[in-house]
Amino acid sequence: MVRFPMLFSFILLISDNQMAIKAGTYAIPVGESTYRIAHRLVHAKYNITPYKVTITEGSNIFQMAEILADHLPQFDTRKFVSLAGPYEGLLFPDTYLLSPDMSEADIVDILRDTFTQKTKDLFAAYNISEDDIYETVTLASLVEEETHIAADRPIVAGVLRNRLEIGMLLQVDVTFQYINGKNSYNLTVDDLKDDSPYNTYVHTGLPPTPISNPGLDSIRAVLEYTKTDYLYFLSSKNGVMYYARTFEEHIANRKYL
């Protein structure tokens, strides 16, 4: 691209900017002058159109990696998963404009920073400490995956809180998507006995980490949960949620499955 290397070096030398060349991916028009190329590299005029990438609410890091790989050339899914793993739940689902030369670490930083910016006022309003944020997001990830309608989220959040308060098993099926990729209709008796720490049919309390990256609605639902005396819920195949106070009522609701 640089047809006159000596002239190129001379231009950088006299402009005292030789050490200020910005690394990155550039789109340089055919026939661009040596001076314009030097100016472009010094001033980081990449001339690259960013990729518009939408990370859907409720995506886990593996799903995020697939979405990003579909949009960004030379994206390393394994590297992203390795870097993003410790921040599952704290990577904000949103629409982003990403440069093709961004590293996997750059993208993780952007997702983390966006989470902080989007949630800080909400957490501050409810006096949620740094220690409690992770627990809040973990519960929100369950609510995100268990519900299809926004109106159900605060009710489901309340049901799960009721169970946590009395030490009852949460028994949510959505954690199996994180364990083995199965949904409620594919689970077997052996699956329910799996000793994974994410199996809420075996272990009381919340799973050790969030199982996805929830949106603001689910996080808000956990903070503004609806107080009821429900201990059970189930979702029909058409997405309608049915609630119950007793196990007998819950069994009766199975007719809607």
The string of pLDDT tens digits covering residues 64-97 is: 999 999 999 889 999 999 999 999 999 999 999 9
> What's the token pair of residue 92?
């904000």
Model's pTM, two decimal places? 0.81
> Residue 27: phi, psi to the nearest 5?
-110, 110
Average pLDDT of span 106-128: 95
Residue 114 to residues 92, 110, 135: CA-CA distances in angstroms?
Answer: 6, 6, 19
Return the CATH class of domain 51-121. Answer: alpha beta
Beta bridge mates, 97:
52
In the predicted structure, residue 2 carries a pLDDT above the cut 90: no
Domain residue spans of the chain: 5-42, 51-121, 127-256
pLDDT value for 81: 97
Confidence band, pLDDT 50/70/90 cuts, at residue 18: low
What is the percent of the chain where pLDDT is above 70?
A: 98
CA distance 211 to 125: 25
- Give the number of C-alpha atoms closer than 13 A to the C-alpha of residue 154, restricted to the C-beta side: 10
Residue 159 to residues 6, 208, 242, 248, 257: CA-CA distances in angstroms?
Answer: 72, 19, 12, 16, 19
pLDDT value for 46: 81
Which has the closest alpha carbon to 196: 179, 177, 171? 179
pLDDT value for 17: 55
What's the DSSP call for residue 235? E
Alpha-carbon torsion, ordered 110, 153, 221, 139, to 10 deg: -70
